[in-house]
Amino acid sequence: MEISTQETQFKGSDGQALDAFLAYPKDQEKHPGVIVIHEIWGLNDQIRGVAKRIAGEGFVTVAPQLFTRYKH
């Protein structure tokens, strides 16, 4: 199944942006969704690949960067 991908942001309830990766089938049908949660290394190419593979099976996937708001 062909998919589309994009880097995006979602606005949290506090108004701050949360970075995320979105992957979804290209067709115009409705599809179930899956949230892909990354491990300690954050939103990286491996997690993007997981989201793409799941999207290729017919799911809309979003992989949020959970460390977006982390301040060192």
Residue 70 pLDDT grade (very low, low, confident, very high; cuts 50, 70, 90) = low
- Domain contains 10: yes
- Domain contains 14: yes
- Domain contains 39: yes
Question: What range defines the domain where residue 50 resides?
Answer: 3-64
Q: Which of 5, 3, 9 is nearest to 64 (CA)?
A: 9
What is the value of pTM for the model shown?
0.89
- Domain contains 69: no
Residue 72: is its pLDDT beyond 60?
no
Average pLDDT over residues 38-66: 97
Q: How far apart (Å, rounded) are the C-alpha atoms in residues 7 and 52?
A: 12
- Domain contains 72: no
- Domain contains 55: yes
DSSP per-residue codes, 11-25: E-TTS-EEEEEEEEE
Per-residue pLDDT tens for 25-38?
Answer: 999 899 999 999 99
- Domain contains 71: no
Q: How many domains does the chain have?
A: 1
Length, in residues, of the chain: 72
